[in-house]
Amino acid sequence: MKIRIKRTYFIEQLNDVLKAISPRTALPILNGIKLEATEETLVLTGSDSEISIEITIPTEVNNETVLEIESSGSVVLSARFFTDVIKKLSGDFVELDTNAQFLTHIRAGKSNFNLSGNDPNQYPLLPEVNNESSIIIPSSVLKTIINETNFAVSPSETRPVLTGVNWQFLDNEIKFTATDSHRLALRKLTDKPNSVEISNAIIPGKALGELNKIIDDKEDDVEVNFSQNQVLFKYGNMRFISRLLEGNYPDTSRLFPENYETKLTVNNSEFLHAIDRVSLLAREGGNNAIKMTIENGKVELSSNSPEIGNVEEDVNIGGLEGESLQISFNSKYMMDALRAVPDEEVAIEFFGTMKPFTIQSSNSYDVIQLILPIRTY
């Protein structure tokens, strides 16, 4: 393999592929990045065996030559080290020349590196994902969906299905659910013609987090293909593959109560700051619990930690209906939920001291956040 490639463009692509590569992999070759030059393209592949990313670099981008291929071939090079070298080189273009023993000569400016490479035949094959069952989502919408749900997946492997976001395909709607069993985020995508033949797929939160770092907040289409146990996202010149989580996702529909007892409307960022202040003490106290008291048309947040002190904060109210209430909740969950509601005005509906409560935009019902209260007595 002998190629010449535009350095700045190459660095961008390498940075994306790196997102699939974990420093703690069981298979040493997966510390590497696979480079494969054909007659017309250079394909970069990175994988940690759960997530795989494949990027195909053409010879021209926007009518500008980014890649010249003198001879085809392939090699696996230490991903992070190779990327560091390319980043620190000088010059606009960098030359790569791999010999039969996979020793790769890198030349740019006045620098000459020789890096030991590995046999690409030892690199595992990526899983096949057919494109029979697929949907198209604009990248900006996909980013929003991830931002509104992914934070709520469980960090614990105790119930593996909860570490993923459940994509549920209904007739004219897709529902995205994430829960760690203490709080839940639900996003709906409506009016989506459904060409998917499966009823649901559980995508690991970690994969969605990495995907979110790569895709742009634009209207570019992302094609999502599902197979039995893999999902493939096609985005521009990238193929992003993740395994799906196996198992049954819990039925969370029964969690949502009807007919609130108390409804509070607040300004999102003002309320977030108030929670943030009160949570300072709640955090020092150890359990993040803060108390909300709704009484006589007033809303007060408070927290108390015997050794440190206490705090009380009056909440600016946009609207208030229904019963008086005392409820305690985890302030971190509340802040996560408020950040995930994309609106300046939010409605919080309570169903009693011991029941889950919901947070959503006053204007849209596309996304709903649910939090279980903390029992304080």
Contact stretch for its own copies (CB under 8 A) within 110-118, 162-170, 325-333, 345-353: 110-118
Roughly how many angstroms between the first and final C-alpha of the chain, as a whole number? 69
Instruction: Compare residues 90 and 172 and give the one whose CB is closer to its own copies.
Output: 90
Distances, alpha carbon 257 to alpha carbons 79, 148, 181, 254, 307, in Å: 50, 21, 16, 7, 38
Contact stretch for its own copies (CB under 8 A) within 3-11, 145-153, 301-309, 320-328: 301-309
Helix (H, G, I), strand (E, B), or coil: what is residue 292? Answer: strand
130 binds its own copies (CB under 8 A): no
| Shortest Å distance, C-beta 100 to its own copies | 16
| Shortest Å distance, C-beta 313 to its own copies | 5
Give the residue among 290, 270, 271 at the shortest CA–CA distance from 280: 290
| Shortest Å distance, C-beta 36 to its own copies | 20
> Measured between alpha carbons, how far is 202 from 296 in angstroms, rounded to an integer?
45
29 binds its own copies (CB under 8 A): no
103 binds its own copies (CB under 8 A): yes
273 binds its own copies (CB under 8 A): yes
Q: Which of 11, 29, 43, 115 binds its own copies (CB under 8 A)?
A: 115
| Shortest Å distance, C-beta 283 to its own copies | 9
Burial of 148 (0-12, 13-18, 19+ CB in 10 A): buried
11 binds its own copies (CB under 8 A): no
Instruction: Compare residues 8 and 114 and give the one whose CB is closer to its own copies.
Output: 114
298 binds its own copies (CB under 8 A): no
What is the DSSP annotation of 49-109? SSEEEEEEEESEETTEE-EEEEE-EEEEEEHHHHHHHHHH--SSEEEEEE-TT--EEEEET
90 binds its own copies (CB under 8 A): yes
Determine the distance from the C-alpha atom of residue 242 to the mean position of all C-alpha atoms in its chain, rounded to a whole number.
Answer: 12
307 binds its own copies (CB under 8 A): yes
Query: How many chain residues touch its own copies (CB under 8 A)?
Result: 33
| Shortest Å distance, C-beta 377 to its own copies | 22
> Measured between alpha carbons, how far is 49 from 242 in angstroms, rounded to an integer?
9
Instruction: Compare residues 228 and 310 and give the one whose CB is closer to its own copies.
Output: 310
Helix (H) or strand (E) holding 284: helix 268-285
Give the residue among 22, 41, 36 at the shortest CA–CA distance from 79: 22
Q: Which residue has the tokens 């947040």?
A: 301
Instruction: Compare residues 61 and 103 and give the one whose CB is closer to its own copies.
Output: 103
122 binds its own copies (CB under 8 A): no
> Measured between alpha carbons, how far is 53 from 127 in angstroms, rounded to an integer?
11
313 binds its own copies (CB under 8 A): yes
Q: Which of 41, 56, 78, 147 binds its own copies (CB under 8 A)?
A: 78
Instruction: Compare residues 109 and 247 and give the one whose CB is closer to its own copies.
Output: 109
Q: Which of 81, 141, 182, 252 binds its own copies (CB under 8 A)?
A: 81
The angle, 0 to 180 degrees and rounded to 10, between the axes of the packed helices 205-214 and 139-149 is 140
Cβ proximity of 234 and 136 under 8 Å: no
274 binds its own copies (CB under 8 A): yes
The binding site for its own copies (CB under 8 A) comprises 78, 81, 84-85, 88-90, 103, 110-116, 273-274, 276-278, 280-281, 284, 307-316
